[in-house]
Every structure is written in structure tokens, then in C-alpha cells.
Amino acid sequence: QVQLVESGGGSVQVGGSLRLSCAASGLTFSSYTMGWFRQAPGKERDLVSAMGWSGDSTYYSDSVKGRFTISRDNVKNMVYLQMNSLKPEDTAVYYCAAMLGRTANWVRPYLYDYWGQGTQVTVSS
């Protein structure tokens, strides 16, 4: 019954912006750490950003810090990733993921319990 559904991906020029959304259902949303991962063809799936269940802890990879902002709404069961100043190296499939409880070691994909289907982001020069 648990579902994570991403939306908001697309194609954008260098320097443009996109806002990704993830709708969660079938779980107690406020009990989960939420993360955004991305995976380019032939590359590993890496954590881009994450936010703890209480919203008081956040993570950003060095490559996106200052450009991306994660947020969550525990009433609407939504998590968002605002992406500004996009670069070609941001091109990837972006996945929403949920980890029950703890934030420790949240960069490790295998610690997340649920995953969305992914949404493509393409940044062109």
C-alpha cells in the first residue's frame, strides 16, 4: 500500500529551475526521513538531499548545496526539492525515498525502506 510518486521533472536550460514533488501514501509520513537521490546512466545512485522526520535536520550533497532546497509538509504528506541554477551535471533520474525513523547514515540507499518510480531531469547547455 505504500506509494511514493514523484512529479515535476522535465527539460530545462542551464541556469534554469525545477521543483520536484513527492506524494507519499500508505505510511505514517511524519515518522520517516525523506530523501532525494539521483542516478545518471552508468552511475551509482547518490543522495542529493534529505530531511529528518521532525524537519530539524537536513542534508545536501556538496554539488548541490546553495542551489537546491528540500522541504516537507507533514500535513499533506509531501516532500519537495526546489532546484535552482541547474547545471548539465544535474541531469539524472531523481528518486524520492523514505527511511523509517533515524537519520544516521542517510547517504546509504539501502537503508531506505520505500522508493518512488523516479522522474527524469535533463539540463541542456
DSSP symbols for 64-122: TTTTEEEEEETTTTEEEEEE-S--GGG-EEEEEEEEES--TTTT-GGG--EE---EEEE
pLDDT at 56 > cutoff 90: no
Mean pLDDT of the chain: 94
Output the pLDDT for position 53: 83
Output the pLDDT for position 71: 96
What is the spatial distance between Cα 40 and Cα 80, in angstroms, rounded to a whole number? 20
User: For 58-116, what is each residue's pLDDT tens digit?
Assistant: 999 999 999 999 999 989 999 999 999 999 999 999 999 999 987 778 899 999 999 99
Residue 30: pLDDT band by 50, 70, 90 thresholds?
Answer: confident
Output the pLDDT for position 28: 87
